[in-house]
C-alpha cells in the first residue's frame, strides 16, 4: 500500500470514539521520502478545520523553529499520534493512542522509513520511549527505536505557555535541540 492509499483509507476511520467529534482526519503531510519525521500529539481546532497538521499557533511556532534552524518544513514529514481532534483539546486517552498508532502512525513510519523521528511533547515521546518517561528528562537526547534514531523535543504549545528565553528555559533548550537535530541531518 502507498502512503496516499493509506491516507485515503484513514479518512473513513471510525475505530475509536474520536471519530464522533472530528470534522477532518488529519493524516499528516510532507515529503514521503523525508529523512526527518516530526510527530506531535493530535490535531487542535485549526488542524481539525483545515485537515493539516500543525497549522495553528503551535504550528506557526514550529515553522519558525524549523526555519531558524534552516530545515525547510517541506523537507520533513509531519504527523500526529492521533489523527482526530480530542474533544476540548484534551490529551488522547491511552486506548485512543494505541488504536490510532496501530492503524496509522506505525504504517506511516514503515512507508516513510525516516532516519530520525522527533516526537514533540510527552504524549508523542511516550509512544517511542514508554509510558514512564518525562519530556524534561528525555528531550535533547538520542534514543533508538526499531533502528530509527529518536530525538524528543518540547512541544511548541508548551513553549507558547513558557515564553522566557533565559538560559535553561524550555525555549533556550529547544534552540539548542533544533541545532543538534540540524547538525545530524547535514
Q: Which residue has the cell 533565559?
A: 166
Specify the residue, 53 or 152, whose C-beta has the smaller distance to ligand URA.
53
Distance CA 176, CA 122 (A): 19
For 18, 29, 98, 137, the CA distances from 153, given in Å and listed in that order, are: 26, 19, 21, 10
Specify the residue, 92 or 114, whose C-beta has the smaller distance to ligand URA.
92
Q: Does 41 bind ligand URA (CB under 6 A)?
A: yes
Give the residue at shortest CB distance from ligand URA.
Answer: 40
Q: Does 122 bind ligand URA (CB under 6 A)?
A: no
Of residues 30, 43, 114, 152, which one binds ligand URA by CB under 6 A? 43
Distance CA 61, CA 44 (A): 14
User: Is 81:183 a contact under the CB 8 Å cutoff?
Assistant: no
Q: Does 28 bind ligand URA (CB under 6 A)?
A: no
| Contacting residues toward ligand URA, per CB under 6 A | 40-44, 47, 53-54, 56, 58-59, 80, 157
Amino acid at each position: 500500500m502507498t502512503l496516499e492509499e493509506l491516507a485515503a483509507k484513514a479518512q473513513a476511520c471510525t475505530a475509536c470514539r474520536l471519530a464522533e467529534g472530528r470534522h477532518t482526519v488529519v493524516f499528516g503531510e510532507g515529503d514521503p521520502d523525508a529523512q526527518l519525521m516530526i510527530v506531535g500529539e493530535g490535531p487542535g481546532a485549526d488542524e481539525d478545520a483545515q485537515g493539516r497538521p500543525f497549522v495553528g499557533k503551535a504550528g506557526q511556532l514550529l515553522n519558525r523553529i524549523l526555519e531558524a534552524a534552516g530545515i525547510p518544513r517541506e523537507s520533513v514529514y509531519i504527523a500526529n499520534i492521533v489523527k482526530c481532534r480530542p474533544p476540548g483539546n484534551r490529551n488522547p486517552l491511552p486506548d485512543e493512542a494505541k488504536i490510532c498508532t496501530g492503524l496509522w502512525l506505525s504504517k506511516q513510519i514503515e512507508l516513510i522509513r525516516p532516519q530520525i523521528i522527533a516526537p514533540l511533547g510527552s504524549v508523542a515521546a511516550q509512544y517511542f520511549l514508554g509510558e514512564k518517561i518525562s519530556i524534561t528528562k528525555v528531550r535533547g537526547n538520542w534514543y533508538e527505536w526499531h533502528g530509527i534514531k529518536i530525538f524528543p523535543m518540547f512541544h511548541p504549545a508548551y513553549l507558547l505557555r513558557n515564553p522566557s528565553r533565559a538560559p535553561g528555559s524550555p525555549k533556550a533548550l529547544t534552540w539548542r535541540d533544533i541545532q543538534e537535530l540540524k547538525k545530524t541531518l547535514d
